[in-house]
């Protein structure tokens, strides 16, 4: 086997979902390592997730083309693998070549001593058709290259170039400089007082000597008010100029610049597109969830649920899925000239990770039992926190829940993920005074915030959907009996 056939170049593969580039987070192998087929060799962060890429061939790593932290496009070579290292060492490169494989670079002196003759048919620079700056060939539009020197016909009456002398430079006359005179009076450099002609006429009519006045106008000029006050015997009070204070400046050593890439870049693009495309409306509902919290406690106490992570988010997810069955239009997409209503619910759960906000979703969540939904939510959250969410898990979402309550926030006005028509913000559950059965008692209360696309969901539909979610959380047992 020849050396060329032994060395396989591995290109960054297409990871799907329209991704065109990825950042190399970490190399899992190094030059000289022996690797197996499908062994993970590199961790790459795309605009949606961080994924490990397996090797297409077994063999020995010969070269790594891009260091960690480099962003490369799909199809770019990233690693070279010797697929038959047992066949012996590869042929050594020519001794006349440099380590990089290029020929030795000649010195400047040797280049200067060589005179290169133009090749046959080559046009000397400066001729039409010859080399122009930047290596282009200067060709007139509509004509082929010419190898004659460019000539210009002299105009009639033109003076020979030798007879043309450069004109003497014209020195502009500077305008008169206005400078403050003694005692704060404004005067020109020639000694005159700075005042407009109407002001001078007024001073002459009133018998006021302009030279004795202190101007209050721009650059200390005399104004009509100055002349009138001097004629009436009152003095002009000129305010002292206020010293300008410079704003404090800070050096770049106290600034941090974070490159926008990967998940954060995709999130920014999606949120900007959604916020300025879909007309958002947000409604709020505060509900008493005391019974729901007690139902969770009873669920945790059951034997078959003791190893299951049960959280308030589970009941909120179940409430949303049941409300979608009653109001299917909420689970739809605006497609320009039509609305696509989906009979499946890919329930997205917004998750904050070290790389930014991601929204993986539970596929066809409406068909899952409560136990299956609990296991799916647990797996989804743990995978997101470990940074192992795949691009496929974040695609195809139809409806989203963002649990801002884990940060101690009551609610919010969430922005719709692109392609979705509704997103529910679930706030913190707090003990608050609440009117219950005619008496003020301490109850567990939360606030829900529903943002929806007003092109699809009008106020009535959005309000009914939110009300149903609230009714389920207020009394889950009664809602299940009534709706199922």
Catalytic residue numbers, as ranges: 454
* Residue 403: burial class (beta carbons within 10 Å; 0-12, 13-18, 19+): buried
Question: Token pair of 138, please?
Answer: 């200067």
Q: Which two tokens stand for residue 101?
A: 């494989």
- On whether the CB atoms of residues 49 and 394 are closer than 8 A, the answer is yes
341 has which bridge partners? Answer: 332
Q: What are phi and psi of 209, to 5 degrees?
A: -85, 115
Torsion, CA 406, CA 409, CA 411, CA 415, rounded to 10? -80
In sequence order, which residues have a C-beta less than 8 Å from that of residue 453 and are 6 or more positions away? 278, 279, 280, 334, 416, 420, 421, 422
Contact between 20 and 37 under an 8 Å Cβ cutoff? The reply is no
Segments in 330-430 forming alpha helices (H): 370-385
Q: Is 342 helix (H, G, I), strand (E, B) or coil?
A: coil
The enclosing H or E element of 363 equals: none
Q: How far are the Cα atoms of 112, 151, 221 from residue 225, in angstroms, in the given order?
A: 79, 70, 11
Q: Which two tokens stand for residue 68?
A: 């960690």
Please tell me the distance from the alpha carbon of residue 474 to that of residue 291, in angstroms, as a whole number: 6
Which residue, 420, 470, 421, 476, is CA-closest to 449?
470
What does the DSSP assignment read for 251-281? -GGG-------HHHHHHHHHHHHHHTTS-EE
Kindly list the distances between the CA atom of residue 197 and the CA atoms of 36, 221, 222, 439, in Å, as whole numbers in the listed order: 96, 12, 11, 85
Burial state string for 77-99 with b = 16 or more CB within 10 A and e = fewer than 16: ebbbbbbbbeeeeeeeeeeeeee
Q: Which residues of 379-396 are buried (b: 16+ CB within 10 A; e: fewer)?
A: ebbebbeebebbbebbbe
């Amino acid at each position: 086997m020849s050396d060329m056939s032994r060395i396989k170049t591995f290109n960054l593969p297409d990871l799907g979902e329209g991704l065109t580039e990825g950042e190399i987070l970490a190399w899992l192998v190094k030059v000289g390592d022996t690797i197996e087929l499908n062994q993970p060799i590199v961790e790459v962060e795309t605009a949606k997730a961080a994924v490990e890429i397996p090797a297409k061939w077994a063999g020995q790593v010969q070269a790594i083309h891009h260091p960690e932290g480099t962003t490369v496009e799909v199809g770019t070579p990233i690693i070279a693998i010797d697929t038959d290292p047992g066949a012996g060492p590869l042929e050594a490169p020519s001794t006349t070549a440099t380590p990089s494989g290029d020929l030795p670079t000649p010195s400047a002196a040797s280049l200067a001593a060589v005179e290169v003759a133009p090749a046959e048919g080559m046009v000397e620079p400066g001729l039409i058709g010859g080399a122009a700056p930047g290596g282009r060939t200067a060709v007139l539009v509509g004509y082929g290259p010419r190898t004659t020197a460019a000539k210009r016909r002299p105009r009639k009456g033109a003076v020979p170039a030798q007879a043309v002398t450069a004109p003497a430079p014209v020195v502009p006359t500077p305008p008169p400089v206005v400078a403050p005179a003694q005692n704060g009076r404004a005067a020109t450099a020639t000694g005159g007082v700075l005042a407009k002609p109407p002001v001078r006429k007024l001073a002459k009519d009133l018998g006021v000597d302009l030279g004795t006045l202190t101007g209050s106008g721009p650059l200390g000029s005399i104004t009509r008010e100055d002349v009138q006050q001097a004629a009436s015997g009152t003095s002009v009070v000129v305010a002292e100029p206020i010293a300008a204070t410079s704003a404090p400046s800070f050096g770049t050593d106290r600034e941090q610049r974070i490159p926008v890439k990967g998940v954060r870049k995709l999130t920014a693009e999606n949120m900007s597109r959604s916020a300025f495309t879909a007309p958002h409306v947000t409604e709020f509902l505060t509900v008493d969830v005391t019974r729901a919290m007690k139902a969770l406690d009873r669920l945790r106490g059951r034997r078959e649920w003791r190893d299951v992570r049960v959280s308030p988010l589970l009941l909120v997810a179940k409430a949303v899925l049941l409300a979608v069955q009653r109001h299917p239009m909420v689970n739809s997409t605006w497609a320009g000239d039509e609305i696509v209503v989906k009979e499946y619910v890919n329930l997205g759960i917004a998750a904050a990770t070290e790389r930014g906000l991601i929204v993986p979703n539970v596929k066809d969540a409406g068909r899952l039992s409560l136990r299956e939904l609990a296991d799916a939510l647990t797996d989804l959250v743990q995978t997101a926190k470990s940074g192992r969410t795949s691009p496929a898990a974040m695609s195809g979402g139809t409806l989203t829940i963002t649990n801002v309550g884990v940060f101690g926030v009551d609610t919010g006005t969430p922005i719709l993920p692109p392609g979705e028509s509704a997103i529910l913000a679930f706030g913190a559950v707090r003990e608050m005074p609440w009117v219950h059965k005619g008496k003020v008692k301490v109850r567990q209360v939360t606030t829900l915030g529903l943002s929806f696309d007003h092109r699809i969901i009008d106020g009535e539909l959005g309000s009914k959907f939110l009300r149903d979610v609230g009714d389920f959380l207020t009394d889950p047992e009664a809602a299940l009996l009534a709706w199922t």
